[in-house]
Amino acid sequence: MNLPNKLTVLRICMIPFFVAALLYENGADQTMRIIANVIFIVASLTDLLDGKIARKYGLVTNFGKFMDPLADKLLVCSALICLIQLGQLPAWIVIIIISREFIISGFRLVAADNGIVIAASYWGKFKTVFQMTAVILLIFNIPALSLLTDIVLWIAVILTVVSLADYVAKNIRVLTEGGL
C-alpha cells in the first residue's frame, strides 16, 4: 500500500476518535472539543496531502480514487451527524449533504460495475473544502464568528447541490450505458 492510500486509511481510522472527543459530555467539555477539532483538522489535511502526493509521484490508484472520496464522506458526515446531536446544525442541511453523497456513491458503483472509475471533480473538491471549513467553525462554536460560520455553511450547501448537478450532468452516460 502506497503512502497516499495509507493516509486515506489513517483518515478513516481517526473518525472514531474524533467522534468520541466531540461527543464527550455531550459536547460541553471545551478541551475535548478542541481535541476533536485538532483531530478533524489533521484528518482533513491528510485529504489534501494524499491527493498531492499521489498526483506528484504518480501514485494514483483505483483504491485511492474510490477510498479517498469515501473517507471524506465518512469524516464529514460523521461530523455533521454529531453536530445535529449537539443541536448546532439543522437536520435538513445534513440530509441534503448525505443525499448528495448517496447519489454520487450510486453513480460510482454503477460505473465500477462497468469498469469505469470516476474521479472527484473540482466542484466536489470545493464542496469538500467548504464543508470541512464549516465543520471546523461549528466545532469551535465562537459567537463572534457566527456570521462567518453561517456564510461558509450556506456556501457548502450550495456547492453540495451544484457539485451534484455537475456530477450527474458529466456522468449521466454511466447510467444510460449501465442499462437504466
- Work out the average pLDDT over 36-42: 98
Is residue 156 over pLDDT 80? yes
Residue 81 clears pLDDT 60, i.e. is over it: yes
Least confident of 77-91, 149-163, 164-178: 164-178
Report the chain's mean pLDDT, rounded to a whole number: 92
**Pick from 139, 166, 134, 140: which is nearest to 153 by CA?**
134
SS (H, E, C) the chain: CCHHHHHHHHHHHHHHHHHHHHHHHHHCCHHHHHHHHHHHHHHHHHHHHHHHHHHHCCCCCHHHHHHHHHHHHHHHHHHHHHHHHCCCCCHHHHHHHHHHHHHHHHHHHHHHHCCCCCCCCHHHHHHHHHHHHHHHHHHHCCHHHHHHHHHHHHHHHHHHHHHHHHHHHHHHHHHHHCCC
- Count of Cβ atoms closer than 10 Å to residue 31 Cβ: 9
Which of 52 and 66 is assigned the larger pLDDT? Answer: 52
Q: State the pLDDT confidence band at 180, using cuts at 50, 70 and 90.
A: low
Alpha carbon 128 to its chain's center: 5
Categorize the per-residue pLDDT at 51 as very low, low, confident or very high, splitting at 50, 70 and 90.
confident
Q: Are 154 and 90 in contact (CB under 8 A)?
A: no
Q: Which residues contact 154 (CB under 8 A, 6 or more apart)?
A: none
CB 134 within 8 A of CB 101: no
Give the model's pLDDT for residue 153.
Answer: 98
Instruction: For residue 82, give the nearest of 137, 135, 30 by alpha carbon.
Output: 135
The domain spanning residue 60 has which CATH number? Answer: 1.20.120.1760
Question: Which residues have C-beta within 8 Å of that of residue 5, sequence separation ≥ 6?
Answer: 50, 59, 61, 63, 64, 67
Please give the pLDDT value at position 178. 55
Higher model confidence: residue 3 or residue 110?
A: 3
* Digit-coded pLDDT (tens) for 106-140: 887 888 787 777 767 889 889 989 999 999 999 99
Domain count of the fold of the chain: 1
So what's the pLDDT on residue 177?
A: 66
Q: Which domain holds residue 65?
A: 3-177
pLDDT at 16: 98
